[in-house]
Structure 1
Amino acid sequence: MSPADYAVLGATMFVASGLQGSIGFGAGLVAAPVIALVEPSLLPALVVMLACVLTLLVAIRDRAALDVRGASWALAGRAPGSMLGAWLVVAVSATTLSWIVAIAVLTGIGSAFLGWRPARTPATLAIAGVLSGIMGTATSVGGAPMAIIWQGLPPARIRATMSAFFLVGSLMSVGLLAFAGLVTPAVVQAFLLLVPVVLAGFFASRWLNRFLDADRLRLAGLFAAAAGAVVLAVRLILGG
């Protein structure tokens, strides 16, 4: 990739990390469409690896608010979902995967705007975990199912619980993607270059949390993610 490509990815990951550090999810929604435009071969491994760093930081910061029981039920579903997602990455072409990214992002955003609020039970938490595992491993966009199931909780609890869930789930996904040969030298290089940007975005979120309204920040992130997904879809249509 060129320096300009890295600059675009760096700016994207800074915004994505700041968003997730503030509301507990959204990094994949923002970053995946842009990475699919710049260098689709980096998906989904790059975003999943960067998510490990970001979710660890947020989980440590907000650990006092963690819902251990809810996270445990969700993780019970994440494991089989991650295996299905890893199979999907190997089974489909890069173009098909890019379409899946665009559709997954727009579906997640649509659900968030519609305000669907399913009851939180062990069964629904596990089902959300399965869907998150499939989407997160295959496309790096696994936040929507968990954001829907945990919406309405206090902000700190959402951030802590989602971050703990995504930390364990992302580590599962990285292991499966590595086993499938998808953690390439190019992915590792991009990861090492972008980790400092993720750290900067996380620390910026601590400052933003004091001054910005979380609902407005969430809407801004959703609009940005939708724009990226639409641009990706248009490019696929014109190119295909």
Structure 2
Amino acid sequence: MLYSPDELLALLIVTGGILVQAWVGIGFGLLAAPLLYLIDPAYVPGPVLVLGWLLSVVVVVKQRHSLNWRRVFPAIVARLPGSWCGALLLVNIAPYQLSLFFGASLLLAVWLSSRHYGLALSPASLTVGGFFSGLLGTATSVGGPPMALLYQHEPRLTARNEIAAFFLIGTPMSMLMLLSRGGPALLSPTLTLKMIPGVLLGFWLSRRLERVFQKDSARPAILLISAASASVVLWQGITAGLAG
């Protein structure tokens, strides 16, 4: 399989983004999507969704014996109505208004978490987190932080594995919405296929990182990535509002 210089750069970006998400649990979409879009807009959102989902497949297959499916199940169920509400809001509310509201809400949630206020991990909180992850993921393409903030006090591997299980079931919902709206072309199969080695390499590098940098908590990284996600969404809302 031959790669152009731009595709090699995209492969490097995918590898780095997958490395972060495979270690922390979130971050691939936030880090990779803006850079890939600059290379070729066709990378977003289809290939980014598919590649992130493939990482979830790899993580879940590797960690299937230690996954607590029963605990994450309420979040998986709640993502469906959340995704539906996100699509409904997109039809009835200006996208920049959603970005402003959700970006500000996420920043507030990150600030409260940094002040040691937070929800305990329970079926009720996971239901709320799964709902808002589906809503945010559909409305703004940033769906990881609501779940990650719930898992910030859990051991890093537990957070990573259960968030991966959540996205394993939840991401296909977004992919089906893309297929229903624009057909297979929106998933850009050729670009996606060429980036798959980046998923495998990024995951392999994350395993090597775990052996060298043995840290049980990903809380600082989760708060940092969540704050960055909120800032990106908020900035999108501000620029879109000023332009409109």
1:202-213 superposed matches below 5 A:
202-212=203-213, 213=215
What secondary structure does 1:191 align onto? helix
Q: Give the aligned partner of residue 189 of structure 1.
A: 190
The separation in 2 between residues aligned to 1:8 and 1:108, in whole angstroms, is 31
The answer on whether the counterparts of 2:119 and 2:150 sit within 8 Å (CA) in structure 1 is yes
What secondary structure does 2:65 align onto? helix
The answer on whether the counterparts of 1:24 and 1:159 sit within 8 Å (CA) in structure 2 is yes
Change (3 A) 1:225 1:41: farther
The separation in 2 between residues aligned to 1:48 and 1:208, in whole angstroms, is 24
Change (3 A) 1:130 1:53: same
The separation in 1 between residues aligned to 2:110 and 2:5, in whole angstroms, is 32
The answer on whether the counterparts of 1:86 and 1:173 sit within 8 Å (CA) in structure 2 is no
- Per the TM alignment, residue 4 of structure 1 is displaced from its structure 2 partner at its CA by 4.9
- Per the TM alignment, residue 104 of structure 1 is displaced from its structure 2 partner at its CA by 6.2
The answer on whether the counterparts of 1:35 and 1:42 sit within 8 Å (CA) in structure 2 is yes
- Per the TM alignment, residue 131 of structure 1 is displaced from its structure 2 partner at its CA by 1.1
The separation in 2 between residues aligned to 1:34 and 1:225, in whole angstroms, is 15
The separation in 1 between residues aligned to 2:205 and 2:227, in whole angstroms, is 18
The separation in 2 between residues aligned to 1:124 and 1:118, in whole angstroms, is 7
Q: Give the aligned partner of residue 172 of structure 1.
A: 173
Q: Give the aligned partner of residue 19 of structure 1.
A: 20
Q: Percent identity?
A: 32
- Per the TM alignment, residue 5 of structure 1 is displaced from its structure 2 partner at its CA by 4.1
Q: Give the aligned partner of residue 199 of structure 1.
A: 200
Q: Give the aligned partner of residue 45 of structure 1.
A: 46
The letter for the 1-side match of 2:121 is R
- Per the TM alignment, residue 83 of structure 1 is displaced from its structure 2 partner at its CA by 2.5
What secondary structure does 1:63 align onto? coil
Q: Give the aligned partner of residue 225 of structure 2.
A: 222
Q: Give the aligned partner of residue 73 of structure 1.
A: 74
Q: What TM-score, normalized by structure 1, do the two folds share?
A: 0.77
Change (3 A) 1:90 1:177: farther
Which range is displaced more, 74-83 or 216-225? Answer: 216-225
The answer on whether the counterparts of 2:110 and 2:227 sit within 8 Å (CA) in structure 1 is no
The letter for the 1-side match of 2:71 is G
Q: Give the aligned partner of residue 130 of structure 1.
A: 131
Larger Rg: 2
Change (3 A) 1:85 1:59: same
- Per the TM alignment, residue 81 of structure 1 is displaced from its structure 2 partner at its CA by 1.6
Change (3 A) 1:105 1:22: farther
The answer on whether the counterparts of 2:69 and 2:162 sit within 8 Å (CA) in structure 1 is yes
Change (3 A) 1:14 1:166: same
The letter for the 2-side match of 1:66 is L
- Per the TM alignment, residue 219 of structure 1 is displaced from its structure 2 partner at its CA by 7.0
Cα-to-partner distance string for 1:9-53 (whole Å, 9 max, x where unaligned): 322211111111112222122123323444445433222111110
Unaligned residue ranges in structure 1 (runs of 5+): none
The answer on whether the counterparts of 1:81 and 1:131 sit within 8 Å (CA) in structure 2 is yes
The answer on whether the counterparts of 2:152 and 2:222 sit within 8 Å (CA) in structure 1 is no
What secondary structure does 1:157 align onto? helix
Change (3 A) 1:159 1:92: same
The separation in 1 between residues aligned to 2:226 and 2:174, in whole angstroms, is 27
- Per the TM alignment, residue 229 of structure 1 is displaced from its structure 2 partner at its CA by 3.8
Q: Give the aligned partner of residue 33 of structure 2.
A: 32
Root mean square deviation, CA, Å:
3.8
